[in-house]
Amino acid sequence: MWKFGADTIRQWRIVRYVEMIVTPTFTRLVGQLMDDDEYAKLQLALVLRPDWGKVIPGSGGLH
């Protein structure tokens, strides 16, 4: 039988820190390319898979 106390871990998850930086040009043009829902889906996809896309040469690893 399992014994649970106040110190029992009930839920855990691994959280990765991802910082999204967008240029003013991108911010200005994204509304012409997709609606808010599509942009939210793109942001989520990039947070879940930060390795997607080509690395920008000379950027130190930015995609």
High-pLDDT (> 70) share of the chain, %: 75
61 within domain boundaries: no
Give the residue numbers spanning the domain of 27.
22-52
pLDDT reading at 36 higher than 70? yes
CA torsion, points 42, 27, 30, 25, in degrees to nearest 10? Answer: -120
> pLDDT confidence of 29, banded at 50, 70, 90?
very high
pLDDT reading at 2 higher than 90? no
